[in-house]
């Protein structure tokens, strides 16, 4: 049957699907635009499920503060390519996800995705629609909510690193400096006491093997290991690290001098810990040619 171009155009604008997909759905439903919309949404969900296993290691970090500044959120939203990370639809989805998380404080990502949207449906429904429209796997990977005991400092480096730090004492400049330091220096813990025992044990064993290999007496090896462990703890803990703006001073000493303390810090970086696949372009083209041979 003949389908009016205006009807195809309307369905395409409402769904973001391709012109031929829209026309095919309208032919199947005898021109019923609502029924065609349902078909496209169903097919879109199937596409979203199919793409769910694909690696999404690009994206952006969203950082938001409540109006009173007492609560902060930092969230990682992923896609497959940096091109899509700049897409208006992806940016709007990331903003909406962050806004919902900050206002509703869900327990985890699953609870967040189940939350209802003002425009109808859930955030997960919106995600699947976006996957079908854009053609890439899109996920909310993680988020952290911070309730301030003191005052919140925040910093976003481009769109890929976000930091929140809860600081007691000090001033706004100190809070921002600390957030920038955390972004640059990647501390794993606040203090040596917070370093997991298994991490410390593993490092002590590695350092012990290295020192023993240098042929020193056992008592010297023991002192060498302790010295290297102290250095290691200084490198991975916020209070032990040299302050980026003044490497002669540790962050711990800076806080003492300003009568300030850090209660909690959160640092998220896009793609951190995700194993990215390295694509061989020539091999990829060859595989596509073979698939269509």
CATH number (domain holding residue 81): 3.30.479.20
Asked if 46 and 29 sit in the same domain, the reply is yes
Query: 147, 164, 179: which is the final residue of a domain?
Result: 147
How far apart are the two ends of the chain, measured CA to CA in Å? 32
**Which helix (H) or strand (E) segment is 26 a member of?**
helix 19-28
Q: Which of 185, 152, 156, 155 is nearest to 167 (CA)?
A: 152
Task: Enumerate residues 6+ apart whose C-beta is below 8 A from 101.
Answer: 73, 75, 112, 143, 145
Backbone angles phi, psi at 132, to 5 degrees: -65, -35
Domain boundary among 127, 147, 167: 147
Kindly state whether residues 59 and 91 are assigned to the same domain.
yes
The crossing angle, in degrees rounded to 10, of helices 19-28 and 5-15 is 110
In a domain, 160, yes or no: no
CA–centroid distance for 209 within its chain = 36
- The answer to whether residue 253 sits within a structural domain is no
Q: Whole-angstrom Cα distance, residue 132 to residue 121?
A: 16
Structure tokens given for 47: 């596409």
pLDDT value at residue 52 = 53
Question: How many domains is the chain built from?
Answer: 2
Asked, for residue 10, whether it belongs to a domain, the answer is yes
CATH number at residue 12: 1.10.8.10
Q: Do 143 and 86 fall within a single domain?
A: yes
Sequence-distant (≥ 6) Cβ neighbours of residue 213 within 8 angstroms: none
Domain that residue 34 falls in:
5-51
Per-residue model confidence as pLDDT tens digits over 247-281: 999 999 999 999 999 999 999 999 998 866 554 54
Look at residue 48 in the predicted model and tell me its pLDDT: 47
Which residue, of 13, 32, 51, is where some domain finishes? 51
In a domain, 92, yes or no: yes
Rg of the chain on CA atoms, in Å: 26
User: Does a structural domain hold residue 235?
Assistant: no
Note the pLDDT of residue 44: 59
HSE on the CB side for 60, CA within 13 Å? 20
Q: Is residue 195 part of a domain?
A: no
How do residues 56-66 score in pLDDT, each as one tens digit?
A: 789 999 999 99
Q: 62 in a domain, yes or no? A: yes
Q: Are residues 63 and 128 in the same domain?
A: yes
Q: Domain for residue 84, yes or no? A: yes
Q: In the prediction, which pLDDT does 49 show? A: 45
Does 129 share its domain with 82?
yes
Question: Do 60 and 117 reside in the same domain of the chain?
Answer: yes
If asked whether residues 26 and 77 sit together in one domain, one would say no
pLDDT the model gives residue 160: 96
Q: Would you write out the chain's pLDDT as a tens digit for each of its 293 residues?
A: 788 888 888 877 776 667 788 888 888 888 888 888 777 766 654 444 445 556 678 999 999 999 999 999 999 999 999 999 999 999 999 999 999 999 999 999 999 999 999 888 999 999 999 998 888 899 999 999 999 999 999 999 999 999 999 999 999 999 999 999 999 999 999 999 999 999 888 888 888 888 777 777 888 878 888 888 899 999 999 999 999 999 999 999 999 999 999 999 999 999 998 866 554 545 555 555 555 44
Model pLDDT, residue 96: 97
Q: Which two tokens stand for residue 248?
A: 């002669």
Residue 60 near residue 149 (C-beta atoms within 8 A) = no
């Amino acid at each position: 049957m003949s389908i009016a171009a205006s009807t195809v155009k309307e369905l395409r604008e409402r769904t973001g699907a391709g012109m031929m997909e829209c026309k095919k759905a309208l032919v199947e439903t005898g021109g019923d635009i609502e029924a065609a919309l349902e078909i496209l949404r169903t097919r879109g969900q199937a596409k979203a499920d199919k793409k769910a296993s694909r690696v999404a290691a690009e994206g952006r970090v969203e950082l938001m503060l409540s109006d009173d500044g007492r609560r902060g959120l930092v969230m990682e939203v992923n896609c497959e390519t940096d091109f899509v990370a700049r897409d208006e639809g992806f940016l709007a989805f990331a903003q909406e996800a962050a806004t919902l998380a900050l206002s509703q404080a869900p327990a985890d990502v699953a609870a967040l995705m189940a939350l209802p949207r003002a425009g109808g449906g859930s955030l997960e429904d919106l995600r699947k629609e976006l996957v079908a429209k854009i053609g890439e796997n899109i996920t909310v990977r993680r988020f952290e909510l911070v309730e301030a005991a003191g005052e919140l400092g925040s910093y976003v480096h481009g769109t890929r690193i976000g930091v929140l730090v809860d600081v007691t004492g000090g001033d706004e400049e100190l809070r921002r400096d600390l957030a920038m330091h955390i972004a640059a220096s990647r501390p794993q813990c606040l203090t040596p006491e917070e370093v997991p025992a298994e991490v410390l044990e593993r490092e002590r064993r590695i350092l012990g093997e290295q020192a023993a290999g240098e042929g020193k007496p056992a008592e010297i090896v023991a002192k060498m290991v302790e010295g290297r462990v102290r250095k290691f703890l200084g490198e991975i803990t916020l209070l032990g690290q040299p302050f980026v703006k003044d490497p002669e001073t540790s962050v711990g000493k800076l806080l003492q001098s300003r009568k300030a303390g850090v209660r909690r810090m959160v640092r998220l970086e896009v793609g951190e810990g995700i194993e990215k696949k390295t694509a061989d372009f020539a091999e990829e083209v060859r595989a596509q040619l073979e698939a269509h041979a």
